[in-house]
Amino acid sequence: MKIELKYKTPLEWAVQAVDGIDEFLQDHADAERKVSNMCMSFIAKYPNRYEIIDELTQIAVEELLHFKQVYQLIQARGNQLSPIFHKDPYMKLLMPIFRSDRDLLFMDRLIVASIAELRGSERFGLIGKVAKDQNIAKFYTNLHLQELEHIDSFIKMALIYFPENEVNKRVEEILIKEAEVTESLPWRCAIH
Ligand SMILES: [Fe+2]
Ligand SMILES: [Fe+2]
């Protein structure tokens, strides 16, 4: 299944974001840490979904490695991890999407995870194009490609448990909402 975002982030977004690259890196480190946690919390919430435990653990490890790499970039720039954690406005606005039924919530969580990976990948690619520091540009261009693989992983997990037509329909609905949410958010030196 090929998923395409319904709102394309303009390149100017990245130009503005790299103007505050230190602030951007702080937010990004936080985002990687959170997505690693999210994978492990899937396992805690759905321990009987054995078929996806290996894949979730693998993604959690990869995201943790991304956290480590971003943290190294922060340190290399002579900075430390900020003690202030900001709430992600993107996830907050996406919350009403989740349905309350246990199984449907599980499907929604996997699909939102996939679409959030797609958005992350899109934006890392843009940062890679405009970052002034060559190390940072290279890092983000690579990360853009690595995150692309996670998009399929979450959809494949959903397809183990739900019929393809239901997953497709829900992906379409969530893509529409995600585009609305993303377009509505003011630009910050942050991934969302
Ligand atoms: Fe990541
Ligand atoms: Fe990822």
pLDDT in tens, 48-88: 999 999 999 999 999 999 999 999 999 999 999 988 878 89
CA angle centred on 73, ends 126 and 61, rounded to 5°: 85
Alpha-carbon span 58 to 52, nearest angstrom? 10
Q: 164 in a domain, yes or no?
A: yes
Q: 192 in a domain, yes or no?
A: no
Give ion ligand 2 contacts, CB < 5 A. Answer: 117, 147, 150
Alpha-carbon span 175 to 3, nearest angstrom? 9
Output the CA 99–ligand 1 centroid distance in Å: 26
Alpha-carbon span 34 to 78, nearest angstrom? 23
Please check whether residue 114 is in contact with residue 162, taking contact to mean a CB–CB distance below 8 angstroms. Answer: no
Q: 151 in a domain, yes or no?
A: yes
Output the CA 117–ligand 1 centroid distance in Å: 8
- Does the structure show a pLDDT above 90 at 131? yes
CATH classification of the domain holding 91 = 1.20.1260.10
Alpha-carbon span 131 to 16, nearest angstrom? 10
pTM of the predicted model as reported, rounded to 2 decimal places: 0.96
Q: 152 in a domain, yes or no?
A: yes
Q: Is 99 helix (H, G, I), strand (E, B) or coil?
A: coil
Domain count, the chain: 1
Nearest ligand, measured from the Cα of 69: 1
Output the CA 159–ligand 2 centroid distance in Å: 19
Q: 163 in a domain, yes or no?
A: yes
**Per residue in 2-56, pLDDT tens?**
899 999 999 999 999 999 999 999 999 999 999 999 999 999 999 999 999 999 9
> What pLDDT was estimated at residue 85?
79
Q: 6 in a domain, yes or no?
A: no
Q: Which residues contact 53 (CB under 8 A, 6 or more apart)?
A: 43
Q: Which domain holds residue 107?
A: 11-184
> What pLDDT was estimated at residue 29?
96
Q: Provide the residue type at 12 as one letter.
A: E
Q: 191 in a domain, yes or no?
A: no
Q: 190 in a domain, yes or no?
A: no
